[in-house]
Structure 1
Amino acid sequence: MMSDDDGARTGVHDATATSDGAMPDDDALVCADDPAAFGPPEDSYQRLWTPHRMVYIGGQDKPSDATEQQCPFCRIPRGDDEQGLVVARGRRCYVVLNLYPYNSGHLMVLPYRHVSDYTDLDEAETAELAAMTQTAMRVSRAVHAPAGFNLGINQGEVAGAGIAAHLHQHVVPRWTGDANFLPIVARTKSLPELLADTRRKLADAWPASP
């Protein structure tokens, strides 16, 4: 049994003000005596609150227009690879982690050139995009051992492209059971690995350029 002193040490307080009228410390765990006094009316559902997702829903990092000057995919290669989550660079294309991944290891392969349509790629860009996609799959298998992949290009906003002005191909590792109740019911993904750690592992395993 936990004593009152144990509760104080673990930061458990009730949801009442202190004697001087101040509320408990922000980092303390606040427990409401009456569940109905906190959150929505009590019902049979359990809720997983994910307020950090609001920055994505609100359009964080989405360009204000379709120009090259506003495009994050044009800006990323000009910066540091670790900061930009760049995994590998080719002559005409590069590979970057998705900042809002569906699964851990969610990669994107895209040309440096600011083009929006797959038919806009020249022959050399098309060949390198395909070759880097194959390498991305091989490296992902070596690092994370997925059971399969989703590969694809969302061509245009109507098809689901978040940044339609700059072509990008998704390489999404898949594991058996990764589409459980969390994404289906709670609209939430559980990602077991930090992006910085994923980038380092994939970049270290990427084969050196010939």
Structure 2
Amino acid sequence: MSVGDEVAGEHPGEPDGFERLWTPHRMVYIGGQDKPADASAGDACPFCRAPTLDDVEALVVARGAVAYVVLNLYPYNPGHLMVLPYRHVAGYPELTAQETTEVATLTQTAMRVLRKVSAPHGFNLGMNQGTVAGAGIAAHLHQHVVPRWGGDANFLPIVGRTKALPELLGDTHARLVAAWPSPTPARG
């Protein structure tokens, strides 16, 4: 029996000619794992917790003075990064001038590194402010850096509501960390 074949009485539903790619790992995201229960900072917030862990374990790619870069645990595309302040803050207007500058600078560096490592054709950059705007974790601001390639939105996400990623997160993390430029010593 191949994927998608149905044996009478064995599986419910009518065959529709589509193959199914099962992605049960997505259920933890849908079920809310690692999402903060409230707006408080600390271990309940995965974005506050990540910088306290080992970089490989937390998928932290780079650290700045007031912000850091991490791979998205539930990426839209390979190399989907997020740039975040360390400080637990929900709104973009609440960032300090230093946080705003470092988030912008780390975003630029992320794009340069992704171009070098993966040669995307373009990028989506964005901050979803509030749950109604699509923020999965609205209590801790994060900027998405999503590399895009021509044809990366094929039948899978459109029809099958599934995204096939050709590389494991750990492999993507290792390639990005290896290509990230060394920190520049602070001036002053």
Does TM, scored on the shorter chain, surpass 0.5? Answer: yes
- CA contact 1:94–1:112 (8 Å) conserved in 2: yes
| Paired AA for residue 9 in structure 2 | A
Question: Which of the residues 12, 25, 36 maps onto 1:40?
Answer: 12
2-structure distance, mates of 1:38, 1:30: 14
SS at match of 1:54: helix
Answer yes or no: is 1:114 the counterpart of 2:88: yes
In structure 1, the residue corresponding to 2:8 is in which secondary structure? helix
Post-superposition, which runs of at least 4 consecutive aligned residues in structure 1 deviate over 3 A? none
| Residue type of the alignment partner of 1:43 | P
8 Å Cα contact 2:6/2:15 also seen in 1: no
Q: CA deviation at 1:40?
A: 2.2
> Scaled by the length of structure 2, what TM-score is found?
0.91
The answer to whether the Cα contact below 8 Å between 2:78 and 2:165 also exists between their aligned partners in 1 is yes
The normalised TM-score by structure 1 is 0.82
Alpha-carbon distance, 1:107 to partner: 0.1
Identity of aligned residues (%): 67
**Over the residues paired in the alignment, what is the CA RMSD in angstroms?**
1.8
- Equivalenced residues, count: 181
Alignment match of 2:67 (pick from 86, 93, 100): 93
Greater C-alpha radius of gyration: 1
Q: Give the Cα separation in 1 of the matches to 2:173 and 2:121.
A: 20
What residue in structure 1 maps to residue 128 of structure 2? 154
Query: Which structure is richer in relative contact order (CA contacts within 8 A, separation 6 or more)?
Result: 2
Greater Cα shift, 45-54 or 99-108: 45-54
- Opposite residue 61 of structure 1, the aligned amino acid is D
**Alignment partner, residue 28 of structure 2:** 55
Q: Any unmatched runs of 5+ in structure 2?
A: none
Alignment of 1:84 with 2:84, yes or no, is no
Matched position secondary structure for 2:11: coil
**Displacement after TM superposition at 1:80 (Å):** 0.2
Is 1:63–1:71's contact at 8 Å kept on the other side of the alignment? Answer: yes
Q: CA deviation at 1:65?
A: 1.4
Aligned equivalents of 2:115, 2:145: Cα separation in 1 = 12
CA distance in 1, matches of 2:105, 2:90: 20
Q: Tell me how far 1:46 sits from its aligned partner.
A: 1.9
Q: Which of 174, 182, 187 is matched with 1:200 structurally?
A: 174
